[in-house]
Structure 1
């Protein structure tokens, strides 16, 4: 067993074999705390090829948001990395709203990316809330935090800080 296994959430350990915590950070916007983020990755993770390796990203919200707000903002951020057609955006907006509930302070959303099935799986406070089996969606969704085109480069650096 890995020395850090005791600190890994059960859902992460079950989905990302040999996961390790790579980094964590807090997102602040205009002085407001938005969420705390933690990134776990499987061995062999390379930031430039983040969509090639299993990973898990957990957000602990520090304020309340509606599912529609989370989905809309996620889609806006996904569009920073690649063009998304209006039809695709509408489909993904529906999938995001289905996967995410309204959140309140201290709610946790865990996103797990499984490259072998090209699936993004979501849990809220430990309960499964959705799954999207679409490699493009997963790559762009996790790219919100991990892509060089992120709107928050300092957050990306902090999440990747422990990567060898």
Structure 2
């Protein structure tokens, strides 16, 4: 019995559990849509999990995407890489991209192995960001919301296999 209590107390402090609580608070009847691991060459970068009400993802939201990092990264590098992916998908307004990068650099903290970032698309099309269960920022621009989550969920994503896993397309 002592071991069960010890394990439960250790889990209570874990980012994965905190993210689950965040998703529970942010979405109505959330359920996992799918999950996958992003690997760059031979480095495991993060585990990604997509949640939606009743497990039914709709591009217009609401939904949540959790990235549990398996490596350390600086927040500004995460923001820069996000902009690069948006550009690959056709975002061309340099002023808008610059503004979005500045917002993300202010929001995203440095992450370490085991940390989790969750982005939540609200009913209004806003993006709310959480770090290990704590709200760290919000972007109210609907265009940002679409472009940001398209990094993982658009048909023209640079990682189509991860997209399939997130959307539960395991055929």
Question: TM-score if structure 2 supplies the norm length?
Answer: 0.83
Report the equivalent of 2:67: 59
Shift of the alpha carbon at 1:162? Answer: 6.3
Change (3 A) 1:43 1:35: same
Whichever of the two has the greater Rg, that structure is 2
Of 34, 38, 41, 1:27 maps to 38
Equivalent pair of 2:83/2:97 in contact (CA under 8 Å): yes
Aligned pair count reads 154
CA-to-partner distance for each residue in 1:101-157, whole Å, 9 max, x for gaps?
01111110011001x322100010111111000111001101111000100000000
Equivalent pair of 2:24/2:30 in contact (CA under 8 Å): yes
The aligned runs of 1:35-50 (5 Å cut-off) are: 35-43=46-54, 45-46=56-57, 50=59
Query: C-alpha distance in 2, partners of 1:80/1:12?
Result: 29
Report the equivalent of 1:127: 134
Name stretches of at least 5 consecutive residues in structure 2 with no aligned partner: 1-16
Shift of the alpha carbon at 1:53? Answer: 2.1
Name stretches of at least 5 consecutive residues in structure 1 with no aligned partner: 1-5
Equivalent pair of 2:35/2:48 in contact (CA under 8 Å): yes
RMSD between aligned residues: 2.1
